Structure 1
Amino acid sequence: MAHHHTVRPRQGTTLLLVGTLVGTLVLGAAACGGTQDSSGASGRRKVTIGLVTKTETNPFFVTMRKAAEAAAKKNHAGLIALSGRFDGDNEGQVAAVESLIARHVQGILITPSNTTGILGAIAEARRQGILVVALDTATDPANAADATYATDNFKAGRLQGAYVRAVLGNRAPKLFMLDGTEGSTVSQFRHDGFLGGFGIKNDSPAIRGQAGTNGDRNRAQTATENLLQRTTDVNSLYAINEPVANGAYTALAERGLSRRVTIGAIDGGCDGVRDVRAGKYAATVMQFPVRMADQGVAAVTGFVRNGKKPSGFTDTGTTLITDKPVRGLASENSAWGLRHCW
């Protein structure tokens, strides 16, 4: 059951305002960019956009924030960037949306940590005439937001699963699965997609161990160490993202097992692509946070200035990156990946 929040004043939350730079002590947020009044030289209507990411430290969301800042500047709009404290911090994201409503933004771009827990805050924003666009992660239901610009996470998981299974060839799969945050739509879609591409179900004996990681490198390393205490008979590993793949690789390498285990990942960050080139992971599935931010900012500015309202789901793309291609799966090599990574 979804738990809906109503927008309310919060006690104990301190807002720090200095010119166009905005931060909250609770959310650890930053903002960039000014606003252009309609009476200015450009003749454009003033637009202020809020961006709420899952965290402010994950490289994916750092890239998204920087891209949104650049897109806002290009479109003569202001941007206020806020975030949760960690992946899964629904309360922090609710507080961020409430703060943006109070600051009278015209649009909110959000990567929901909890796709149902955030619905009340989104509904209140839309009730007040604010356009709400989901980035990276769709709300549940998807039409709770006006539009979504995101990776097809099921497809990304399927690409990873199909590739890892193909690399194993005739060997019987012995798999570790490192998921994200329990209840996360992204985590579930990638998990289910991987199983579909790999060709097994959740109850398969091929799965030798499974753990949640909240998408965090250190948690992933600890989780892998714990799984290896139960069994070292493993030859493949699913990682929800590249920080998790890195943590898992470190744990496997410390046990001398990294060469035996085929690791797949999803993200497409430059560090992850370099890890593919170095042979730490067999492949990663690249997604495109810059496209998400660019299209989200354009959607808000277009709505405010031209009345064009976006709707539905827009797939911002996925590309398999590997230096060891397999028949039947389209891919690009790490050199291509390094030219397009973030």
Structure 2
Amino acid sequence: MTRVTFTNSSYRRAIAIIAAVSTAVTVAACNRGESASPGAGGEAPIGVSLITKDSTNPFFVAMQKGAKEDATKNNVKLTVSSGKEEGDDQGQITAIEDAIARGDKGILITPMSNGVNAAMTKAREAGLYVIALDTPPDPADTVDITFATDNRQAGKLGGQWAAAQLDGKPAVIALLDLFNDKIVSVDYNRDQGFLEGVGIDVADPKKNGDEAKSGKYTGGKGGTYTIVCNEAGQGAEDGGRSAMERCLAKNPNINLVYTINEPTAVGANASLKAAGKTAIIVSVDGGCAGVGSVKSGVIGATAQQYPLKMATLGMEAIAKIARGGEKPSTSPGLDFYNTGVALVTDKKVDGVDSISSDEGAKICWGN
């Protein structure tokens, strides 16, 4: 086993976040008494459904893998399902209805959009405990609790870093979002957080694309900006490639690209490369592949999330509640439980906490 030496204060903080969350879960379990551990004492297994947005994105693959492992630990009979692809509301609705019909005790779900709100409400009315992972619904109280990254902060970290990298030069920006026909909190929080980090005024904080298309940014040394496009890449590499092509057709001088996730970023980079262009690319996810893209220079910086921790917290919470334990609480000042975030980059800038790609690789997820 490789010995890890901690030399970066922000890296230590990232590790501390994960350790603190793990401690909180352990303490919560201990508060139930020594003989009340989930699955102990001959307790019957409980039914839980994990419903992700799809089963191909490395983020959701990692979450499913973690949930399966935690199901065994918590004596849970787990059913895993997902939409066919990003945007498949009906696929998630069907999975929710199936969970109700099976008599499951709870649902862990990464909500596709507000289109599944009614189905989640129906599940709660049927007596299921519903926990959102990664994507807080709007409104937040549609579910019992959410375990997620602070996506606004994730976007903001990338924006602050990007503004410093521009060093006062004009910013010609492409925003590659998730959808253009659905409202998803992850989508607008990351996009709007990025703009806030760059120092661009947003209009409606829950709406993408309504900010002024040109003006001055105040992040870093400050300068002028032009927003060329808000294009939907559907969170996929091919979608990112097509979205970037559409943006370059509008303005070939784009020098800063925000992407909703790392597959989108890889697709965007492919389009830039094919056009003989380069740009600063920032993203969110922090999977091992994405961290590798940072190390290779494809992505300048990415905000790392912790999907395995989300799955662990959600699974333990449902198992505990189903067996008479207390419900979890949200993080102070937030309407969800914050599972932590760390910016991964090999181009550190003053005033923005970050960890290197080598450090990020030690705590990443996926292949």
Contact 1:146 1:310 in 2 (8 A): no
Contact 1:146 1:311 in 2 (8 A): no
Alpha-carbon distance, 1:243 to partner: 0.5
**Cross-structure match for 1:270:** 288
**Cross-structure match for 1:337:** 360
Runs of 4+ in 1 over 3 A off after TM superposition: none
**Cross-structure match for 1:93:** 92
Q: How does 1:224-243 map to 2 (within 5 A)?
A: 224-243=244-263
**Cross-structure match for 1:29:** none
Amino acid at match of 2:155: G
**Cross-structure match for 1:279:** 297
**Cross-structure match for 1:306:** 324
Amino acid at match of 2:272: L
| Equivalent position SS for 2:171 | coil
Alpha-carbon distance, 1:311 to partner: 4.3
Alpha-carbon distance, 1:112 to partner: 0.4
| Equivalent position SS for 1:82 | strand
Q: How does 1:1-342 map to 2 (within 5 A)?
A: 42-114=41-113, 116-182=114-180, 183-201=183-201, 202-205=211-214, 206-258=226-278, 261-312=279-330, 313-342=336-365
| Equivalent position SS for 2:70 | helix
Segment drifting more, 137-146 vs 200-209 = 200-209
Q: Distance in 1 between matches of 2:40 and 2:337?
A: 33
Amino acid at match of 1:203: A
Q: Distance in 2 between matches of 1:166 and 1:101?
A: 50
Alpha-carbon distance, 1:292 to partner: 0.3
| Equivalent position SS for 2:323 | helix
- What runs of 5+ residues in structure 1 fail to find an aligned partner? 1-39
| Equivalent position SS for 2:147 | strand
Q: Which has the higher contact order (CA 8 A, sep 6+)?
A: 2
Describe the shift of the 1:126–1:323 C-alpha distance in structure 2 as closer, same or farther (beyond 3 A). same
| Equivalent position SS for 2:115 | coil
Q: Distance in 2 between matches of 1:59 and 1:48?
A: 25
Q: Distance in 2 between matches of 1:293 and 1:241?
A: 19
Contact 2:177 2:233 in 1 (8 A): yes
| Equivalent position SS for 1:194 | helix
Deviation sequence 1:88-141 (CA, Å, 0-9, x none): 211111101001111111110011011x22122112211221110011111221
Describe the shift of the 1:78–1:229 C-alpha distance in structure 2 as closer, same or farther (beyond 3 A). same
The alignment's C-alpha RMSD in Å is: 1.5
| Equivalent position SS for 2:50 | strand
Alpha-carbon distance, 1:276 to partner: 0.3
Alpha-carbon distance, 1:209 to partner: 2.4
Q: Distance in 1 between matches of 2:284 and 2:129?
A: 29
- Normalised by the length of structure 2, the TM-score is 0.79
Describe the shift of the 1:171–1:42 C-alpha distance in structure 2 as closer, same or farther (beyond 3 A). same
Amino acid at match of 1:272: G
Paired residue total? 301
Q: Distance in 2 between matches of 1:304 and 1:289?
A: 23
Contact 1:164 1:264 in 2 (8 A): yes
Deviation sequence 1:220-262 (CA, Å, 0-9, x none): 101111221222111111111001100000011112212xx11
Q: Distance in 2 between matches of 1:285 and 1:81?
A: 27
Q: Distance in 2 between matches of 1:257 and 1:213?
A: 19
Deviation sequence 1:77-98 (CA, Å, 0-9, x none): 1110110111121111110100
Alpha-carbon distance, 1:304 to partner: 1.1
Amino acid at match of 1:254: A
Q: Distance in 1 between matches of 2:73 and 2:162?
A: 41
Amino acid at match of 1:204: K
Percent identical: 41
Q: Distance in 2 between matches of 1:139 and 1:229?
A: 34
**Cross-structure match for 2:206:** none
Alpha-carbon distance, 1:42 to partner: 4.3
Alpha-carbon distance, 1:48 to partner: 1.4
Deviation sequence 1:288-324 (CA, Å, 0-9, x none): 1001000000000110123322344100111000011
Alpha-carbon distance, 1:210 to partner: 2.4
Q: Distance in 1 between matches of 2:109 and 2:103?
A: 16
